[in-house]
Amino acid sequence: MHYPMHHAPAAPPPRRDPEATRKLVGWILYWFLLAIGALLFGAIFFVSPLFSKHADVAYHSLWVGICLALPMLLIYLWVPWIVDRFDPEPLWALMTVLAWGAIAGCGYGALINTMFQGIVAAITGDEQFADAAGACISAPIVEEGVKGLAIFWIFYFQKREFDGVVDGIIYATFAALGFAAFENIVYYARASDAQILEGKDGALATTFFLRGILAPWGHPLYTAMTGIGFGIARETEKTWVRWLAPLGGYCAAVFLHFVWNFAATVSGMLMLVMLPLWLLFVVAFLGMLVWLVARKGKIIRKHLEDEVLLGNMTPYELDLVSSPFGSFRATMSYGGSLGRKFITAASRLGLSKWHAGRAARGRKMTVSADFVLPLRRELHVLRARIQHAVGRPIPMPRAWDPSQAPRNVHPQQQHPQQGYPQHGYPPNNPWGRR
């Protein structure tokens, strides 16, 4: 009797990235606006000194400012990089917002602020009042808006790289540090000009102490408020919060920026009064940041626990991913960059499941659900590559089998620390060198 042959179903075509079009549009807008900002930046800061009365002094002061500002920028960039221990942001994303803050932020900000001061001076006939109005009104609104565009770009066009409040703070810090560094170049150059042309001894040293040492985190703290707003919008399930949180964060950033500039403009005595309050605010902010980072680690662990039961991770890998030093340990012991990639993929898997769960509760769609299965496959591929790199077999995950459980013992009781049966997994490092 002839039986018809049953052919295996054809493999489905590779799924297109649902965010491909959005990313393409985002990159086109980014490079277009960055190019315009770069032209403005070059015209204002490098071409305009050619037409000054003392062009040689202006260029000398400009290079003095660059030599003072850029090394401090490299030092300060280590702080947000060290803080974000769970799922560190990709280097290309950090450099993107840094470049925007430094080039486009300064270019657009300088143009709009200069135009505002010129209009106020023309109306009032008082240049001193125009300068004060620019510092207290135009600068906070314009500068925080331009820096906030970098956060919005990541939030809207690169959703996979923006997970919550911590990411908002990190991106805000990089954009603000880039802006602050090049703004400091201008202030240092002006101080150098005053020291050379007007004989104001110590002007450069005083400016460097105030802006480079005493208050280097002013702009990052302002813009962090905007980052927190976008982070809340990413985490929330409510539509109205998603719209109002970024606006509220931006308003908070403008207010903090205004308070600082107002105090610096009105009186030096007022600055001395505000400085202790400012330091208390900085300490409180750092404490909140540490709590947010720890919260992010707990979220990742909570949403990866079922991966052990499903047979996609081992208990040791779960402990490693949810540790603040897991990425470092993986880099040192698990084949270098392969271990770091494994930790990153596992962290993204946990965060993607978190976003997908929140979207489901809010009855909304999210692209995070599309990343779950590819990230699971990526973990298996990376584990095989790590096994090849260390040169010996490593424990492979396996699903929990209820039939192996002792009678009258709940699964949570078999492994008190993690809630999983141990199943013979070695308690020590199964991948690394001892």
Q: What is the pLDDT of residues 212-234, one digit of tens each?
A: 776 777 888 999 999 999 999 98
Nearest to 100, CA basis, from 48, 178, 158, 32: 178
Q: Out of 4-8, 214-218, 309-313, 427-431, which region has the weakest mean confidence (pLDDT)?
A: 4-8
Give the containing element (helix H, strand E) for 223.
helix 218-235
What pLDDT, on the 0 to 100 scale, is given for residue 151?
Answer: 96
Report the pLDDT averaged over residues 107-132. 89
Contacts of 131 (CB under 8 A, 6+ apart): 117
Contacts of 210 (CB under 8 A, 6+ apart): none
What pLDDT, on the 0 to 100 scale, is given for residue 269?
Answer: 67
Report the pLDDT averaged over residues 379-389. 76
Planar angle of CA 314, 318, 319, nearest 5 degrees:
120
Kindly state the greatest CA–CA separation across the chain. Answer: 108
Structure-block tokens of residue 213: 């040492």
Report the pLDDT averaged over residues 386-413. 60
Structure-block tokens of residue 252: 């908070």
Nearest to 253, CA basis, from 279, 280, 219, 282: 219
Contacts of 130 (CB under 8 A, 6+ apart): 117, 118, 120, 121, 124
What pLDDT, on the 0 to 100 scale, is given for residue 288?
Answer: 85
- Position 384 pLDDT exceeds 90: no
In this structure, how many other beta carbons lie within 10 angstroms of the beta carbon of residue 190?
A: 16
Q: How far apart are CA 285 and CA 216, in angstroms?
A: 15
Q: How far apart are CA 367 and CA 350, in angstroms?
A: 14
Single-letter residue type at 400:
W
What SS3 class is residue 163? coil
Query: Which of 210-214, 250-254, 275-279, 379-383 has the highest mean predicted lDDT (pLDDT)?
Result: 250-254
Q: Is 397 exposed, middle or buried (0-12, 13-18, 19+ CB in 10 A)?
A: buried
- Position 211 pLDDT exceeds 60: yes
Query: Which 8-state DSSP code applies to residue 213?
Result: I
What pLDDT, on the 0 to 100 scale, is given for residue 227?
Answer: 95
Structure-block tokens of residue 304: 């990866």
Q: How far apart are CA 410 and CA 171, in angstroms?
A: 44
Share of the chain above pLDDT 70, in %: 77
Q: How far apart are CA 244 and CA 232, in angstroms?
A: 10
Residue whose token pair is 């106020």: 120
Confidence of residue 249 (pLDDT cuts 50, 70, 90): very high
CB 189 within 8 A of CB 64: yes
- Position 29 pLDDT exceeds 90: yes
What pLDDT, on the 0 to 100 scale, is given for residue 392?
Answer: 65
CB 260 within 8 A of CB 48: no
pLDDT tens digits, residue range 40-84? 988 877 777 666 666 777 777 888 888 888 888 888 888 777 777
Confidence of residue 268 (pLDDT cuts 50, 70, 90): low
Give the containing element (helix H, strand E) for 72.
helix 55-76
Nearest to 227, CA basis, from 174, 148, 139, 154: 148
Structure-block tokens of residue 14: 């590779």
Confidence of residue 267 (pLDDT cuts 50, 70, 90): low
- The alpha helices in 238-333, defined as continuous H runs, are 239-266, 268-310, 315-321, 326-333
- Position 416 pLDDT exceeds 50: no
Residue whose token pair is 């911590």: 166
Nearest to 250, CA basis, from 134, 115, 146: 146
Report the pLDDT averaged over residues 343-362. 77
What pLDDT, on the 0 to 100 scale, is given for residue 333?
Answer: 61
Single-letter residue type at 301:
R
**Whole-number average pLDDT of the chain:** 79
Report the pLDDT averaged over residues 173-180. 92
Confidence of residue 87 (pLDDT cuts 50, 70, 90): confident
What pLDDT, on the 0 to 100 scale, is given for residue 9?
Answer: 46
Q: How far apart are CA 166 and CA 400, in angstroms?
A: 34
Nearest to 340, CA basis, from 351, 348, 330: 330
Q: How far apart are CA 434 and CA 415, in angstroms?
A: 24
Confidence of residue 328 (pLDDT cuts 50, 70, 90): low
Radius of gyration of the chain from its Cα atoms, rounded to whole angstroms: 27
DSSP sequence for 62-129: HHHHHHHHHHHHHHHTHHHHHH--SSPPPHHHHHHHHHIIIIIHHHHHHHHHHHHHHHHHHHHS-HHH
Phi, psi torsion values for 192, nearest 5 degrees: -65, -40
What pLDDT, on the 0 to 100 scale, is given for residue 414?
Answer: 47
- Position 434 pLDDT exceeds 90: no
